[in-house]
């Protein structure tokens, strides 16, 4: 059976009377990659925390395979749903290999010893995320992007059915961003019973290229749109979500939407003032 994680009409507030979102629906099923996008503060991280059970909703519910998520035991839930937070700061020094092996804890026996299958999974996930050469390094000494790939390896080693990833590529260089999104694509689509992946990203172009569906959260406490990228990544919807002019054209090779934000126009006051994009020239030389 294909795993499905579904948030139904969920509302959440950190403080009474100040909801982050109200009556929001979101879902992800095995075999699909879903992008969760929206402006800073719209509630993407909060929604992921609600969907993995770290935050309890005030209204609505989260169902895993049709059953309330809260009815699953901790280990059982961890074997099915894995969550990669936006920021992780381990409290003590561990090697890269040890951090990746932490992902195996829901599968370990009573004495917490790593078996051959655990080590095999850890090795495979380190290779997939290109961190095996870092295996002996102290995690705390890694660069931001290296840390992010190690944490992803750890989550993958958990071998869940559903992956909830909060900005897994925010610190990665352009090559590793594509590598990781391609890996997620393969994990969801290249085998029967593939992962269900719900990924938060601010890179709308990566979301357009790799996600089967996109969820767009707005700053008005609601889900503004949900569907394939063509129906969600439109100028009117994005401009409304971000409260700023957003332009959309087509990638010349892939044909996917190509999204960018317009630079703010400078108020110049009088007609005939120097346009803002010429200001650099005047600063460097000529105008009084």
Ligand X SMILES: Nc1ncnc2c1ncn2[C@@H]1O[C@H](COP(=O)(O)OP(=O)(O)OP(=O)(O)O)[C@@H](O)[C@H]1O
Between 20 and 84, name the residue whose CB sits nearer to ligand X: 20
- Report in angstroms how near the CB of residue 8 gets to ligand X at its nearest: 19
Rg (CA), the chain: 22
Sheet holding 223-227, edge to edge: 81-84, 162-166, 196-200, 33-37, 213-217, 223-227
When the beta carbons of 20 and 224 are compared against ligand X, the nearer one is: 20
State which residue, 44 or 77, has the beta carbon closest to Mg ion. Answer: 44
3-state secondary structure of 271: coil
Please tell me whether residue 43 binds ligand X under the rule CB under 6 A: yes
Give the contacts of 284 (CB within 8 A, at least 6 positions apart): none
Closest approach, Cβ 131 to ligand X, in A, equals 24
Tell me which stretch binds ligand X (CB under 6 A): 34-42, 54-62, 187-195, 222-230: 34-42
- Interface residue with ligand X among 14, 66, 284, 285 (CB under 6 A) is 14
Number of residue whose CB is nearest Mg ion: 45
> Considering only residues 20, 122, 152, 204, which one is a binding residue for ligand X as defined by CB under 6 A?
20
Token reading at 162:
């559903």
Which CB, 11 or 86, lies closer to ligand X? 86
By the rule CB under 6 A, 42 interacts with ligand X = yes
Instruction: Tell me, letter by letter, the H, E, C secondary structure of 233-250.
Output: CCHHHHHHHHCCCEEEEE
Residue 228 binding partner per list ligand X, Mg ion, none, with a CB distance cut-off of 5 to 8 Å that depends on partner kind: none
User: DSSP secondary structure string, 56-118?
Assistant: --SEEEEEETTEEGGGS-HHHHHHHEEEE-S----SS--BHHHHHHHTTGGG--TT----HHH
| Contact flag: residue 44 with ligand X (CB under 6 A) | yes
Helices (H), 110-225: 116-128, 144-157, 174-189, 204-210
Q: Name the binder of 41 from ligand X, Mg ion, none, CB < 5-8 A by kind.
A: ligand X
By beta-carbon proximity to ligand X, the closer residue of 48 and 101 is 48
CA distances (Å), origin 75, targets 10, 103, 160: 24, 12, 11
**Any contact of residue 45 with ligand X (CB under 6 A)?**
yes
Taking alpha carbons only, the member of 187, 241, 192 closest to residue 216 is 241
Cβ of residue 48: shortest distance to ligand X, in angstroms? 8
Question: Encoding tokens for residue 156?
Answer: 């993958």
Q: Provide the pairing of β-strand 196-200 with 33-37.
A: parallel
Task: Among 27, 29, 33, 46, indicate the residue that binds ligand X (CB under 6 A).
Answer: 46
Residues near Mg ion (CB under 5 A):
44-45, 86
**Using the rule CB under 6 A, which residue among 2, 9, 41, 243 binds ligand X?**
41
How many residues at the interface with ligand X, by CB under 6 A?
Answer: 11
By CB under 6 A, residue 80 contacts ligand X: no
Q: Summarize as ranges the residues that interact with ligand X (CB under 6 A).
A: 14, 20, 38, 40-46, 86
């Amino acid at each position: 059976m294909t795993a499905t994680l579904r948030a139904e009409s969920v509302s959440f507030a950190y403080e009474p009377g100040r909801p982050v979102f109200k009556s929001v629906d979101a879902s992800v099923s095995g075999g699909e990659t879903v992008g969760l996008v929206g402006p800073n503060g719209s509630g993407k991280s909060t929604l992921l925390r609600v969907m993995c059970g770290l935050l309890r909703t005030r209204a609505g519910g989260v169902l895993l395979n049709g059953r309330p998520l809260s009815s699953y035991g901790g280990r059982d839930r961890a074997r099915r749903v894995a969550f990669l937070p936006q920021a992780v700061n381990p409290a003590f020094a561990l090697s890269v290999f040890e951090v990746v092996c932490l992902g195996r804890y829901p599968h370990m026996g009573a004495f917490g010893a790593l078996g051959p299958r655990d080590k095999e999974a850890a090795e495979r996930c380190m290779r997939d995320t290109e961190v095996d050469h870092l295996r002996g390094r102290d995690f705390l000494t890694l660069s931001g992007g290296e840390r992010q790939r190690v944490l992803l390896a750890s989550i993958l080693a958990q071998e869940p059915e559903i992956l909830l990833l909060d900005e897994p590529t925010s610190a990665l260089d352009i090559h590793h961003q594509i590598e990781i999104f391609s890996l997620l694509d393969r994990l969801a689509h290249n085998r029967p019973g593939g992962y269900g992946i719900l990924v938060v990203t601010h890179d709308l172009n990566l979301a357009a290229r790799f996600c089967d569906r996109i969820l767009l959260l707005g700053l008005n406490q609601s889900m503004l749109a949900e569907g394939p990228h063509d129906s969600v990544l439109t100028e009117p919807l994005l401009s409304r979500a971000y409260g700023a002019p957003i332009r959309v054209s087509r990638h010349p090779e892939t044909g996917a939407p190509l999204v960018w934000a317009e630079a703010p126009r400078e108020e110049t006051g009088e007609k005939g003032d120097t346009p803002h994009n010429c200001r650099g020239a005047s600063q460097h030389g000529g105008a009084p």
